[in-house]
Amino acid sequence: MHLTTHNPRVAFQGERGAFSEEAVFTLLGASAKPSPSATFESTFAALDGGRVDYALVPLENTLAGSIHRTYDLLLESKFHIIAEVIIPVVHNLIGCRGATLADVKIVQSHPVALSQCLRFFEQHPDIHRRNAEDTAGSVREVLEKGDPTVAAIAARRAAELYGGSILLEHLEDDPENYTRFVLLSPEPNETPDANKLSLATKLKHQPGALHSALGIFAKHKVNLSKIESRPLKGSPWEYRFYLDLEVGTATLMREVLREFQGLADETRVLGWYRAAQSPSNAELNSR
Distance CA(271)–CA(263), nearest Å, equals: 20
Do strands 65-66 and 54-61 pair parallel, antiparallel, or not at all (unpaired)? antiparallel
Task: State the Rg of the chain over Cα.
Answer: 21
CA 167 centroid distance within chain: 26
Q: Which of 70, 179, 201, 267 is catalytic?
A: 179
261 C-beta neighbours (distance < 10 Å), count: 13
Q: Which residues pair with 243 in a beta bridge?
A: 199, 227
| Residue 181 a catalytic site member | yes
Q: Which residues contact 194 (CB under 8 A, 6 or more apart)?
A: 250, 272, 273, 274
What are the two backbone dihedrals, phi and then psi, of residue 64, each rounded to the nearest 5 degrees? -85, -15
Longest dimension (CA), the chain: 65
Distance CA(99)–CA(104), nearest Å, equals: 8
Distance CA(270)–CA(241), nearest Å, equals: 12
Q: Which of 12, 181, 217, 260 is catalytic?
A: 181
| Residue 179 a catalytic site member | yes
Rounded alpha-carbon distances, angstroms, from residue 35 to 11, 42, 84, 141, 241: 5, 11, 18, 19, 31
Active site residues: 179, 181
